[in-house]
Structure formats: structure tokens, C-alpha cells
Amino acid sequence: MKSVILVFIFSSTLLFGQAKVWLQILGSGGPESGDKRASTGYIVWINGKSRILVDFGGGASLRFEEVNAKIPNLDVILLTHLHVDHTADLPALLKSAFFTRASGNLLLYGPKENNYMPSTEDFIRRLFEDGKGAWQYLGDHLDGSARLQIKAYDIDDSRKVKEIYREGDIHIFAVSVHHGSIPALAYRVNIGSKSITFSGDMNGDYHTLETLAKDTDILVAHNAVPKGATGVAANLHMTPGIIGKIAQKAHPKRVVLSHRMLRTLGREKVTLHEIHKYYKGSVKFANDKSLYRIK
């Protein structure tokens, strides 16, 4: 009897002690058509449920269906910034929620405004608010009348890592990153001792990702520009050498390269060589629907 109880306690610890966490890529592309990829979107699966969504660009909605993610299981949406290739499918997600049992508050975080972009709260109002939004017929998701309510929150521009969400063993952190003149954030999602860090679009100038991603299990870095990029492209995005230098300092267990564009596709060998000059760990090139288990 004693041994039966001990086996039960031991297997319970195995079953319930550590959450099973997977990162799934919805869209591994950028804003171009012709890359045959959906634009940016990621799911953090926790114990088989699609709990956290990071960005939701064009095409991510179809991938969301294809990987069998469920809107009622979503707790949080994290927007790295408000460019089209990171947000365009949000109206599709909200409309399709109507046909599910989704209810309660769906929290949505994103950057504060500057001269070029609205705040995330205002962005959501401009999309959906009754009397104001382009899709004002979905305004009941903001005014308390629909079962599912979108609660948007702005995150202040800060070069210090800040905790923005805590629920059970899920802790989410954010920090500002430099993406040209566009307000942009990187996020880290901790689930117990496991973690995934999302660079979003950034060029490395703020040197904030190194701290956020310290010893993370997976660093999702955006591979939007090739070695040797200069000018506007280098003001917006990390070259492979910069990804390598950040990974060298942050020391993630794995780097997953996403936001792949026509200018980086086909240049994987050079990209890998550049990154490995600084970072000797595992580097993977993401495709749509790629799945990575956090061990």
C-alpha cells in the first residue's frame, strides 16, 4: 500500500509539478507577399492549451486554425508593436470568437503611443469601438455587453525590464526595444522555471534584450535583414551578427529565427556562420507551424 501511495505521489509530481510548454510558430514571415509564409504570430502552449498569443499578422489566423489552437483557451495577447505584419488578423480573431464559447476578459498588451503610432488602447478603440471603430459592429467586445471582452493595456516605454502579468506560475515581462521610430517591445514569458523570450522587430540599439533574455530556454529572434545590411533596414532590424552578440550575452538554450524575409531566405548558411561567431548554441530556422518543446 505504502509503495502504491509513493508511486502516486511521485507520478503526480511528474504530471503536475512542471507544466508542459511548447512554442509554436504561426507565421515565420514578415510583411512581404511572395515569402509563402504567414506574417508574425506565435503561440505558447501550456499543458496542451493555447494560452498566450504573441502578435497576429496576416495569415496567422489561418495557421491558428490549422494547429488547432482555441480562442476560449487564450488568456493573453502580447503585441510587440502595431505594424500590419504583427496585428492585421486581430479583427478576424475577434469575429471568429463569436462562434466559440470564449468568455471573460482577454487581456491584450502593447506599446504606448508616440508621434508615429497610436497607443495600443487607442489602436483597439480605433478598430472596434462603437461609433469610432472601422469595425464598430464588434464594439460589444469593448463595452461590456459581449461574453468576451478585450481589455487593452499600454506598456510604458522603459529600458528596464518590468513584470506586466502574473497569474499562477505564468509571469510575463516586457522591455522597450529599438525598431526605428516605432514604439516596440520584447517580451519574456516564464512558466515556472521554463521561459520563452520574443525579440519582436528591433535592431539592438537599446541593449535591453540581453537582460530580458538572460538564460531563457528559447530566444525567438527576428531574422529580417542579412549580413551587411545598412541604412533603414539596419535601423529597424538586427543583422545576424547582432543576433549573435545578443545571444552570446543572454546565453539562451536555443535561438529560433523567425520573421524571415526574401532578403534573408536562401542566406541561411551565411546567417548561421555570422551568429556562430559569437554564440555557439543551437540555432533553428522557423517555418510556419514549427513546434519547439521546452524541456
Residue (201 or 274) nearer to Zn ion, CB = 201
Residue (89 or 201) nearer to Zn ion, CB = 201
Residue (52 or 236) nearer to Zn ion, CB = 236
Determine if 274 is a binding residue for Zn ion (CB under 5 A).
no
Q: Nine-digit cell at 11?
A: 507520478
Determine if 85 is a binding residue for Zn ion (CB under 5 A).
yes
Rounded CA separation 134/126 (Å): 7
CB–CB of 179/236 below 8 Å? yes
Stretch binding Zn ion (CB under 5 A), from 6-14, 61-69, 113-121, 194-202 = 194-202
Q: Cβ of residue 124: shortest distance to Zn ion, in angstroms?
A: 19
**Cβ contacts of residue 208 below 8 Å, gap of 6+?**
159, 161, 175, 176, 177, 186
Q: Cβ of residue 110: shortest distance to Zn ion, in angstroms?
A: 14
Contact with Zn ion (CB under 5 A): which of 35, 129, 201, 274?
201
Q: Cβ of residue 146: shortest distance to Zn ion, in angstroms?
A: 30
Give the binding-site size for Zn ion (rule: CB under 5 A).
2
Q: Cβ of residue 17: shortest distance to Zn ion, in angstroms?
A: 37
292-295 long-range contacts (CB < 8 A, ≥24 apart) are 292/22, 292/23, 292/24, 292/218, 292/254, 292/256, 293/20, 293/21, 293/22, 294/21, 294/22, 294/23, 294/191, 294/194, 294/195, 294/196, 294/217, 294/218, 295/217
Stretch binding Zn ion (CB under 5 A), from 65-73, 138-146, 196-204, 272-280 = 196-204
Determine if 217 is a binding residue for Zn ion (CB under 5 A).
no
Residues within the interface to Zn ion (CB under 5 A): 85, 201
